[in-house]
């Protein structure tokens, strides 16, 4: 039998219900795996006492029967989620020492369902990054390597710790958040599944805000079934988030039939980027063939404004970030700079924010400040919002033509080496999100599914994009793709 | 449009982030790289297009205008770097 920490959520649930295993045993196996995986730097605040207590409570609940699917399942939680009395600092120095007095709605939903928290997971500072290299905790490391080459690779970002932890079996699954691709890109880089639901599915309450009109939470799991189970537990209407949708949450798992006969899958020509590696091109073609073989109809489609998604994103996201991050002023929580004799409140703000924010966060806050400043608001911010309208319209048009889901690559490359992009200009790093960012701008659900390995032995992912609120249908398409690709590779343990 | 050192200093000031004088040149360069990328948006014909306000068309819910929360001064102050006598403490603001 596989070690307990290697189980999927569905396997663990069935064993828990059958009385073959206890949550306490699952939790100990994961805690031990976490203990031995310091080299991955995935977990940054461990909470073994909370985990053991929650596991005990879960076992009691399971013994009584009628426990929900997530009951007793050990999870890792991205540091962006506020967790009551547990450090929650968005991987930033400016939130050093912050212990929230409240629980985020998503983690509360998971705990209400009986889930167990092993600890908090590494990420890019304030979720700004695509490689987990902007974290105050240092880099998280991808459990995958290029064959026998021991160059440390990025697990992607911003949910890099979540990706590394799930791929390395340190936990059964993890929470992530996605503003421009931060669930789907890391999931693709480590060979796991990650879904960003429709904007409004998950409450954003208690999740440290980056760009409020784009941020969504979602699960990062070992397979599609687990994504369905965990997503259902995470989402739902929340009066504390006025953008959370007051619509019923379906039984996503029950919708996984694998039957996609007659579904129309769109393949957008604009995603065929110049200079795209041949392996990505082939993976995409293979995925298209798999869906076709499963009975889907493949349709060539056009999303004409795709090219403008990244530049629009790099106006809108920094603009919202500059507003959201204005709250870090050294007054109410976190870090405050030591002041010199005679320093007033302005010096306190300026020194605190210079010391507390890392380089990438400072850059984005200032870019955001610039595009919102008098004289530039129309030229940059309003223009970007108009382009966003056009990007969304592109998707509405193809859905109106009867397209059920859209297939694209998840990332333009496999995982790259840590530090390899440090000399490049910031825009080169931003290109990592070229296939994912359109989905956030249009508020749509998107899922990344591992679909193959490149010639260096690294995982590659495909992305499926669905209609708004139809995560169930999307998960079913992803399930069919998963079954057809038969991806089961795991990283060899070196840590 | 190209951002010079003075504009970079002004933006840093507006963002309330202290940037040392000798860093401003590099910062202006980074701004220009990002803004150069953003300039592509000028190619798009946005005539008559409404700027997006809400990505999912929904009417914001309303609720009764009543107090739903409060009376937790200790919790509010629990994470403050400097709290005294029930208040957040900051350097002198008014001379």
Q: Where are the domains of chain A?
A: 4-257
The pLDDT value recorded for residue A1 is 52
Q: How far is B9 from chain A (nearest CA, A)?
A: 10
The pLDDT value recorded for residue B2 is 82
pLDDT(B59) > 90? no
Query: Which B residues in the span 23-62 are in contact with A, Cβ-Cβ below 8 Å?
Result: 27, 30-31, 33-35, 37-44, 46, 49-56, 58, 60-61
Which of A462-489 are b and which e, b meaning 16 or more Cβ less than 10 Å from the residue's Cβ?
bbbbbbbbbbbbbbbbbbbbbebbebee
> Hey, what are A252's tokens?
């996503």
Residues of chain A short of pLDDT 50, as ranges, are none
Q: Is A338 on the interface with B (CB under 8 A)?
A: no
At A487, is the secondary structure helix, strand, or coil? coil
Report chain A residues whose CB lies below 8 A from the CB of B41: 308, 311-312, 315, 380, 383-384, 387
Which of A140 and B69 is assigned the larger pLDDT? A140
CATH class of the domain at A4-257:
alpha beta
List A182, A203, A244, A322, catalytic entry: A182
Q: Per residue in A22-65, pLDDT tens?
A: 999 999 999 999 999 999 999 999 999 999 999 999 999 999 99
Q: Per residue in A418-448, pLDDT tens?
A: 999 877 777 878 888 999 999 999 999 999 9
Q: How far is B5 from chain A (nearest CA, A)?
A: 14
Residue A78 annotated among the catalytic residues of the structure: yes
Q: Sorting pLDDT into bands at 50, 70 and 90, what band is B77? A: very high
The pLDDT value recorded for residue B16 is 98
Q: Per residue in A176-208, pLDDT tens?
A: 999 999 999 999 999 999 999 999 999 999 999
What DSSP designation does A233 have?
A: H
Compute the C-alpha angle A396/A397/A402, nearest 5°. Answer: 95
Q: Residue range B55-81: average pLDDT? A: 91
Query: Which A residues in the span 294-333 are in contact with B, Cβ-Cβ below 8 Å?
Result: 305, 307-308, 310-312, 314-315, 322, 326, 329-333
Q: Tell me if B55 is assigned to some domain.
A: no
Q: How many independent structural domains does chain B possess? A: 1
Return the closest-CA partner of residue A471 out of A167, A217, A162, A270: A217
Q: Per residue in B4-55, pLDDT tens?
A: 999 999 999 999 999 999 999 999 999 999 999 999 999 999 999 999 999 9
Containing structural domain, residue B39: 5-43
Q: Sorting pLDDT into bands at 50, 70 and 90, what band is B1? A: low
Q: Tell me if B73 is assigned to some domain.
A: no
Contacts 24+ apart (CB under 8 A), A138-142: A138/A41, A139/A41, A139/A418, A140/A40, A140/A41, A140/A42, A140/A164, A141/A39, A141/A40, A141/A41, A141/A42, A141/A418, A141/A495, A142/A167, A142/A189, A142/A190, A142/A415, A142/A491
């Amino acid at each position: 039998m596989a070690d307990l920490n290697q189980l999927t959520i569905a396997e663990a649930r069935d064993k828990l219900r059958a009385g073959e295993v206890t949550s306490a045993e699952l939790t100990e196996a994961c805690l031990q795996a976490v203990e031995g995986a310091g080299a991955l730097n995935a977990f940054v605040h461990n909470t073994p006492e909370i985990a053991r207590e929650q596991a005990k409570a879960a076992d009691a609940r399971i013994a009584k029967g009628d426990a929900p699917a997530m009951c007793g399942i050990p999870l890792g939680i991205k540091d962006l989620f506020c967790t009551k009395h547990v450090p929650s600092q968005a991987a930033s120095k400016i939130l050093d020492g912050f212990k929230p007095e409240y629980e985020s709605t998503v983690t509360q939903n998971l705990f209400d369902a009986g889930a167990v928290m092993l600890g908090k997971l590494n990420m890019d500072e304030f979720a700004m990054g695509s490689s987990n290299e902007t974290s105050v905790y240092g880099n998280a490391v991808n459990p995958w390597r290029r064959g026998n080459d021991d160059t440390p690779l990025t697990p992607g970002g911003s949910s890099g710790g979540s990706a590394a932890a799930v791929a390395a079996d340190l936990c059964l699954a993890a929470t992530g958040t996605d503003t421009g691709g931060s669930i789907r890109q890391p999931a693709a880089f480590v060979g796991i599944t990650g879904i960003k639901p429709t904007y409004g599915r998950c409450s954003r309450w208690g999740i440290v805000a980056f760009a409020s009109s784009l941020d969504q939470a979602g699960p990062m799991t070992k397979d599609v079934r687990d994504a369905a189970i965990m997503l259902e537990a995470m989402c739902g209407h929340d009066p504390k988030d006025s953008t959370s949708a007051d619509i019923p949450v379906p039984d996503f798992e029950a919708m996984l039939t694998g039957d996609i006969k007659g579904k129309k899958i769109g393949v957008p020509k604009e995603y065929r980027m110049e200079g795209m590696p041949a392996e990505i091109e082939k993976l995409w073609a293979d995925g298209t063939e798999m869906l076709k073989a499963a009975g889907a109809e493949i349709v060539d489609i056009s999303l004409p404004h795709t090219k403008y998604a990244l530049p629009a994103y790099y106006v809108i996201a920094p603009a919202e970030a500059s507003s959201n991050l204005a709250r870090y002023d050294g007054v109410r929580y976190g870090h405050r700079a030591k002041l010199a004799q005679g320093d007033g409140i302005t010096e306190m703000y300026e020194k605190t924010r210079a010391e507390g924010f890392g380089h990438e966060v400072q850059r984005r806050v200032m870019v955001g400040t610039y595009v919102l400043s008098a004289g530039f608001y129309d030229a940059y911010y309003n223009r970007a919002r108009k382009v966003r309208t056009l990007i969304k319209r592109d998707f509405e048009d193809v859905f109106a033509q009867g397209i059920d889901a859209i297939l694209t690559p998840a990332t333009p490359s496999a995982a790259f080496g840590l530090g390899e992009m440090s000399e490049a200009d910031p825009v080169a790093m931003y290109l990592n999100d070229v296939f994912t960012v359109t989905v956030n701008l249009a508020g749509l659900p998107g899922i990344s599914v591992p679909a193959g390995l490149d010639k260096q032995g690294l995982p590659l992912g495909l992305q499926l994009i669905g209609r708004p609120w139809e995560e169930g249908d999307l998960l079913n398409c992803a399930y069919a793709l998963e079954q057809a690709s038969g991806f089961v590779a795991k990283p060899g343990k070196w840590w | 449009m190209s951002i010079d050192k003075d504009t970079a200093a002004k933006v840093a000031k507006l963002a309330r982030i202290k940037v040392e004088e000798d860093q401003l040149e590099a910062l202006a360069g980074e701004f220009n790289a990002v803004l150069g990328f953003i300039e592509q948006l000028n190619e798009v014909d946005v005539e008559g297009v409404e700027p997006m306000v809400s990505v999912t068309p929904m009417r914001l819910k309303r609720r009764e205008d009543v107090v739903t929360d409060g009376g937790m001064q200790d919790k509010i102050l629990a994470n403050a770097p400097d709290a005294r006598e029930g208040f957040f403490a900051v350097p002198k603001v008014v001379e």
